[in-house]
Amino acid sequence: RAELQVRAVGPEECVVPFLTQPKLPVLQLDSGNYLFSTSAICRYFFLLSGWEADDLTNQWLEWEATELQPALSAALYYLVVQGKKGEDVLGPLGRALTHIDHSLSRQNCPFLAGETESLADIVLWGALYPLLQDPAYLPEELGALRSWFQTLSAQEPCQRAAETVLKQQGVLALRPYLQKQPQPSPPESRAVSNEPEEEELATLSEEEIAAAVTAWEKGLENLPPLRPQQNPVLPVAGDRNVLITSALPYVNNVPHLGNIIGCVLSADVFARYSRLRQWNTLYLCGTDEYGTATETKAMEEGLTPQEICDKYHVIHADIYRWFNISFDTFGRTTTAQQTKITQDIFQRLLARGFILQDTVEQLRCERCARFLADRFVEGVCPFCGYEEARGDQCDKCGKLINAIELKKPQCKVCRSCPVVRSSQHLFLDLPKLEKRLEEWLGKTLPGSNWTPNARFIIRSWLRDGLKPRCITRDLKWGTPVPLEGFEDKVFYVWFDATIGYLSITANYTDQWERWWKNPEQVDLYQFMAKDNVPFHGLVFPCSALGAEDNYTLVKYLIATEYLNYEDGKFSKSRGVGVFGDMAQDTEIPADIWRFYLLYIRPEGQDSAFSWTDMLLKNNSELLNNLGNFINRAGMFVSKFFGGCVPEMVLNPDDQRLLAHITLELRHYHQLLEKVRIRDALRSILTVSRHGNQYIQVNEPWKRIKGSEADRQRAGTVTGMAVNIAALLSVMLQPYMPTVSATIQAQLQLPRPACSVLPTDFLCTLPAGHQIGTVSPLFQKLENDQIESLKQRFGGQAKVSPNPAVVETVTTAGQQQIQTLTDEVAKQGNVVRELKAQKADKNQVAAEVAKLLDLKKQLALAEGRPLETPKGKKTK
Ligand SMILES: *[C@@H]1O[C@H](CO)[C@@H](O)[C@H](O)[C@H]1NC(C)=O
Ligand SMILES: *[C@@H]1O[C@H](CO)[C@@H](O)[C@H](O)[C@H]1NC(C)=O
Ligand SMILES: *[C@@H]1O[C@H](CO)[C@@H](O)[C@H](O)[C@H]1NC(C)=O
Ligand SMILES: *[C@@H]1O[C@H](CO)[C@@H](O)[C@H](O)[C@H]1NC(C)=O
C-alpha cells in the first residue's frame, strides 16, 4: 500500500524547511508535504489501511495534541535537560495521567476506545513510553493507567518500536534532541475540576479598553428594546425562535435531584438565559403518564390509573414550582391531543410502508394473568451475570436485553416464574429509515452543539446497525392502536412519549404546528439525561422523517451524565438520596439548591452530590465570594453616600477592570450559547472575585475618611462596585432567580436592565441613582445542620419508615404565620418610606427594631433558625 523509508537524522537537522526548530519524527510524503506530529503520522497510516475515523478516537487524538503534549514536553525537559526528579517532573503531568486513568476505569474497558487496541492507544502509549518506562514515573495509585501501559508495553511490535527509538538508553536517548528545544513553559492548569482557580488576567489591547469604556458610558441607552410579552408565545418570522423541551418525567415517581438537574433545571437555566437575550422562547414539559408502571402503581394504591396520574401530576408540578422552573406550559400526555397526533403519525408511517408486523415471544405471568412489561421482569443478565437485571436493560453492564433472554426470570409483582407466550406486534422499520436519518444527521451534526455523549451514543447505535423496533404493548393504559386486530393493544410509551412534546404544545395553543412543523424558523433544544438520547436523537427523528410532514427536528441535543448521591446511586426503595419533595423540608432555600446542583452539573462527566461539599460551596462561593461582594457594594452606597450612587471618574485601572469584566461577560455568553451551563456559572463567580479584589485593593472604607481626592476615589470605587453587583444580578438570574430578584430590589435596578443581558458591561446605575435597603443575601450553613441532613437522607438505619414526616413539626398554625408575614411586609414598607424621606434617625431606628422583632416572631413560628446578626466583618 505504501513504501516507507526510514532515515536517521541528527538532532539539529531541520527537516521541515518552514519550521524554526528541529521537529522529530517527520514524515515526508511524495507530494512534498510533511506531517510532523506523531498523532498525525499514525492517523495517516491508519487511514491508508482503510480505517474509518470515529469520534472517540478523534477526541483522544485532539486531547493528546492539545493537553498531553504540552504537559509531557515540559516533564521530559525537566527530567532530561534540567535533571529534575520525582514530583518536579510528574507535577505538570499529574492531571493528564489522572484523566487517562479515570477514563479507563470509568468505561471499564482495557483500552481507550473499547475492547481492543486502537489508534488512540498507540499514539498515547508512544508519547508516554519514554517517561513511564521508568517504573518510578508510573504512579502506583493509578491502577487502570498502569495496567493499560503494561499491557501495551508487553506487546512485541511495541517493544520493537521502543528499542528502535530509545536504543536501550531509556529517556536519555532523547537528550540531544530535547537540548535543542526551547525551554517549555509549564502548561497552564485549566479548570477541569470543580475547584475555582486563580484566574490569570488576560492582556487587553487599548482598543478593547476604549470600546468597553464607550459602551459603559452609554449606559441604559445601549440596551436593546424589550420583547413584548405574548400569550401564547408563537414563532415570529425573522426572529430567533427558541423551542425548549426537557425530558418528560415519568408520573409514578417523585423525581430525585439527579432527574431535576438532568432535565428540568438545566433546561430552565437555558430558557431563562434565552429570554434574557430577548429570543422568542417557549419552554415546555409535562408528565409522561402512560404505561405499565402507572397501571401497577394504581393497583398498589388502590386507585385507577387516571387517579394516579392526577395525583402525581400535581406532585411534580408542585416540586418544579418550588424550584422556580419557568415553564411556559407544563402539561401531560393523557390527553385527546396526544391520541390524535400519535395516531396521525402512526397512520402516515403505515401508509408509507414503515410499519412491520411480527410475532413476538413475550413473558407472561400466569398468576397475575398479564403480559409482563420489561420493567416488571427481573432476572440474571445473560451478558454479565448481574442478578438484578431489568427486562430491557442491565444496570450493571448497560447492555440492552430482550426480556425472554433473561436467566431465571421473575415477575416483579408476585415473584413467580413467567412463561413464554407469543403475540402479534407492530414495529417501526428503522432499517428502512436509516438512510434518511443519516442524511439528516449529516446536515445537523457537523459544527452543531450536541453534547459529545449524545454524538457518541448515536454513532454507536448507527455503527451497530438499526433494527426494527416494537412500538406496541399488551396493555390497556396507553394510546390505542388504530388498526384492526390491535384493539387490545396500545402504543409503547417510547413511541408516543416523545410525541408528548407536540401534544402538550397542542393543548397550550391550537397553533402548535407553527412550532412543530416549522423546521426553518424554529431552533429546537432538547434537554435530557444520556439514557434518553437514542429516543430523541434517533427513534423520534425516524418517526418524524418517515411521516413526511415537515416536522421540526432537534437542533441541539443536550444530554447530561449521571448525578450520584454521595458515593452511590439515588434509590427510593433503599431510602437513599434527596427527592424533590424532601428538598423543601430541609429549610435550604430553592435557590441554594439550584446553585449547588448547577455547580456540580454532570456536564461531560458523572458527578456526585455531597452534603459536605454543598456546605463548603454554600459558605465559600456564595457567602464569602458572591454574597459578600454584592452586600458590601450596596452597603458602601448606603453607608457612605446616603443610598445615592456617587460620581465616578474612571482612572486607567478602572477602565482595565471594565474591559476585563466585559471579557468575562462575553465568555459567559459564549458558554451559554453552547449550553455549557456549569462552566458559565464559573464566569459569574469570576466576575464577583474581580469585584472583591477591586474593593480590597482600593479600600473605599478608608478613603472615605481621607482628603477630598480620597473621598472622590472612594466614590468611584463604590459606584463601579455597585454596578458590577447589578451586572451580577442579571447574570445570576438564570441560576438563582429569587436571589437575583432580591438584589435587583435592593439596588432598585431600573426595569429594562433587569430583563435583558447585553454583551457589554453597561453602567446601569448612574450617578444620582437611589438604591433601596441593603441586607445580606445568604446565611452560613452550619456543620451540625449538614450532619443531621446527612443522617436523614443518607440511607443508613432509619428510625421512621417515612423520612419526610420526621421533621415537619411546626410550632404555629398557618394562620398565625400568614398574619405575621403580612405584618412583616407592612412594617418593611413603613421603614422604607421613612428612610426614603430621610426621616429622623431615632425614629427610623425604632421602626427597624419593631421590624426585627416581627421577623424574629415569624422565624420562630415557622420553626426556622434565627438569622445571625450582621457581624462587623463585612465592611
Ligand atoms: C389544557 O389546557 C387547558 C387550558 O387551555 C388547561 O386548563 C388544561 O389543564 C390543559 N390540559 C392539560 C392536560 O394540560
Ligand atoms: C416546511 O416548513 C418551512 C417553514 O419552516 C417551509 O418554508 C417549507 O416550505 C416547508 N416544507 C414543506 C415540504 O412543506
Ligand atoms: C446556606 O444554607 C442555608 C440554609 O440552612 C441558607 O439559609 C443560606 O442562605 C445558605 N447560605 C448561603 C451562603 O447560601
Ligand atoms: C420563586 O418561587 C417562590 C416560591 O414559589 C416565589 O415566592 C418567588 O417569587 C419565585 N421567584 C421568582 C423569581 O420567580
144 lines ligand 3 (CB under 6 A): no
Lowest mean pLDDT among 123-127, 386-390, 400-404, 742-746: 400-404
59 lines ligand 4 (CB under 6 A): no
C-alpha 447 – ligand 1 centre gap (Å)? 38
Q: What residues contact residue 183 under an 8 Å CB cut-off, 6+ apart?
A: 77, 81
CA distance 465 to 711: 73
Q: Where does the pLDDT of residue 356 fall: very low under 50, low under 70, confident under 90, or very high at 90 and above? A: very high
Asked if the peptide bond before residue 232 counts as cis, ω within 30 degrees of 0, the response is: yes
Lowest mean pLDDT among 202-216, 539-553, 653-667: 202-216
Which ligand 4 atom lies nearest to the CA of residue 591?
A: 1
Distances (CA, A) of 289 to 208, 286, 312, 427: 54, 9, 9, 22
Which ligand 4 atom lies nearest to the CA of residue 322?
A: 5
How far apart, in Å, do the first and last CA atoms of the chain sit? 74
Give the pLDDT score at 433.
96
779 lines ligand 3 (CB under 6 A): yes
Task: For strands 607-609 and 563-565, give the pairing.
Answer: parallel
pLDDT over 70 for what percent of the chain? 91
The verdict on pTM exceeding 0.85 is no
**Got the DSSP string for 439-483?**
HHHHHHSTT----HHHHHHHHHHHHH----EE-EES-SSSPBP-S
Average pLDDT rounded to a whole number, residues 776-785:
72
Q: Select from 584, 588, 613, 743 the residue to mutate for testing ligand 3; criterion: most ligand atoms less than 8 Å from CB.
A: 588
Residue 295 bridge partners (DSSP): none
Single-letter amino acid code for the residue at 128: L
C-alpha 589 – ligand 3 centre gap (Å)? 7
The CATH code belonging to domain 236-261+284-353+430-466+473-488+496-555 is 3.40.50.620
Which ligand 3 atom lies nearest to the CA of residue 785?
A: 5
- Which amino acid residue places its CA nearest to atom 1 of ligand 4? 324
Average pLDDT rounded to a whole number, residues 386-402:
82
147 lines ligand 1 (CB under 6 A): no
The domain spans of the chain are 37-184, 194-223+561-575+599-793, 236-261+284-353+430-466+473-488+496-555, 355-428, 796-862
742 lines ligand 4 (CB under 6 A): no
Average pLDDT rounded to a whole number, residues 767-790:
80
Domain 37-184: give its CATH architecture: Up-down Bundle (1.20)
507 lines ligand 1 (CB under 6 A): yes
Ligand nearest the Cα atom of residue 289 = 1
User: Residue 60 corresponds to which cell in the numbers above?
Assistant: 483522544
CA distance 628 to 638: 15
Cβ–Cβ < 8 Å for 289, 522: no
C-alpha 803 – ligand 3 centre gap (Å)? 22
755 lines ligand 4 (CB under 6 A): no
> Which comes out higher in pLDDT, residue 34 or 192?
34
Q: Where does the pLDDT of residue 874 fall: very low under 50, low under 70, confident under 90, or very high at 90 and above? A: very low
C-alpha 324 – ligand 4 centre gap (Å)? 6
- Provide the CA 130 distance to its chain's centre, in angstroms: 38
C-alpha 299 – ligand 1 centre gap (Å)? 27
Average pLDDT rounded to a whole number, residues 115-144:
87
CATH number among 2.170.220.10, 3.40.228.10, 3.40.50.2300, 2.60.40.10, domain 355-428: 2.170.220.10
412 lines ligand 1 (CB under 6 A): no
623 lines ligand 3 (CB under 6 A): yes
Cβ neighbours around 669 below 10 Å, total: 19
399 lines ligand 4 (CB under 6 A): no
Which ligand 2 atom lies nearest to the CA of residue 522?
A: 5
Lowest mean pLDDT among 396-400, 483-487, 498-502, 587-591: 396-400
- Which amino acid residue places its CA nearest to atom 1 of ligand 1? 507
Single-letter amino acid code for the residue at 750: P
Kindly tell me if the per-residue pLDDT of 863 is higher than 60. Answer: no
Q: How do residues 371-380 score in pLDDT, each as one tens digit?
A: 887 778 889 9
- Which amino acid residue places its CA nearest to atom 9 of ligand 1? 331
Q: Where does the pLDDT of residue 202 fall: very low under 50, low under 70, confident under 90, or very high at 90 and above? A: low
Which ligand 3 atom lies nearest to the CA of residue 623?
A: 13
User: Residue 565 corresponds to which cell in the numbers above?
Assistant: 448521591
- Which amino acid residue places its CA nearest to atom 5 of ligand 3? 588
Kindly tell me if the per-residue pLDDT of 857 is higher than 80. Answer: no
Q: Where does the pLDDT of residue 257 fall: very low under 50, low under 70, confident under 90, or very high at 90 and above? A: confident
Cβ–Cβ < 8 Å for 207, 753: no
In 3D, which of 427, 543, 402, 425 has the Cα closest to residue 488? 425
Cβ–Cβ < 8 Å for 300, 308: no
C-alpha 715 – ligand 2 centre gap (Å)? 58
> Which residue shows C-alpha cell 477591586?
694
* Residue 711, SS3 per DSSP: helix
Q: Where does the pLDDT of residue 32 fall: very low under 50, low under 70, confident under 90, or very high at 90 and above? A: confident
Average pLDDT rounded to a whole number, residues 692-719:
95
Kindly tell me if the per-residue pLDDT of 194 is higher than 90. Answer: no
C-alpha 592 – ligand 3 centre gap (Å)? 7
Q: What angle do CA 287, 291, 297 make, to 5 degrees?
A: 85
Class of domain 796-862: mainly alpha
**Which H or E run includes 361?**
strand 355-365
CATH 1.10.730.10 fits 194-223+561-575+599-793, yes or no: yes
Single-letter amino acid code for the residue at 289: E
> CA torsion sign, 828 to 832 to 834 to 839?
positive
Give the pLDDT score at 564.
80
Average pLDDT rounded to a whole number, residues 25-51:
84
Lowest mean pLDDT among 12-26, 406-420, 427-441: 12-26
Kindly tell me if the per-residue pLDDT of 615 is higher than 70. Answer: yes
Distances (CA, A) of 579 to 104, 572, 850: 31, 8, 38
In 3D, which of 457, 513, 516, 468 has the Cα closest to residue 492? 468
* Residue 380, SS3 per DSSP: strand
Cβ–Cβ < 8 Å for 466, 534: no
509 lines ligand 1 (CB under 6 A): no
Kindly tell me if the per-residue pLDDT of 323 is higher than 60. Answer: yes
519 lines ligand 2 (CB under 6 A): yes
255 lines ligand 4 (CB under 6 A): no
Kindly tell me if the per-residue pLDDT of 157 is higher than 70. Answer: yes
User: Residue 791 corresponds to which cell in the numbers above?
Assistant: 443522617
> Which comes out higher in pLDDT, residue 105 or 809?
105
500 lines ligand 1 (CB under 6 A): no
> CA torsion sign, 535 to 539 to 542 to 546?
negative
Cβ–Cβ < 8 Å for 771, 634: yes
